[in-house]
Amino acid sequence: MSSLVTFGRCTIKLIDTLNEQIGRGTSWLTLILVIVSVTVVILRYCFNIGSIAAQESISYMHALIFMLGTAYTLKHNAHVRVDIFYHRFNEKTQGWVDFLGTLFLLIPVCLFIIVSSWDYVADSWAIQESSRNSGGLPAVYLLKSTIIVMAGLLLLQAISLAIKSLFSALGISLNTAS
């Protein structure tokens, strides 16, 4: 039992560290997004200079912020929740609710996203899809690939959450051997 607990703790630490680093790195895209957006507006309305690539880069960054920040947000328990009963439950019951919700809702949704988007992304890679607009950004297939990356990172974070929740439900500490 103690080796399983140790394995669980190591798995949690590895996944949480990965998503923490990706989330922190992705957060810098928000600043870059604002700078590029302001630059595009100034160039367009003050100097009558337009750039389709710059405009598309705003959409790319916006998508990346959400796609790569999803698992980070789950790690920090910051996703929107409708909490009618949950806050009244004790820690063990909350652990069971989180574990079962993760096991039967979140993990299947992540797997569904991966499976259902696989051909969509593969087709984009097969034709090396680029922007439909002249002067737009190439490599749309890379952006579409973030759908699978998002679901994969979210799936990993769901595994971490499931282990944490199961530990909580069973009264196993995350920090010390119990």
pTM given for the model: 0.91
For the chain, how many residues are written? 178
Question: Residue ranges per domain, the chain?
Answer: 2-170
Stretches where the chain sits below pLDDT 50 are 177-178
* Residue 89 three-state SS: coil
CB-based contact 95:165 (threshold 8 Å): yes
Give the span between the Cα atoms of 156 and 40, in whole angstroms.
37
Q: Which two tokens stand for residue 124?
A: 């984009």
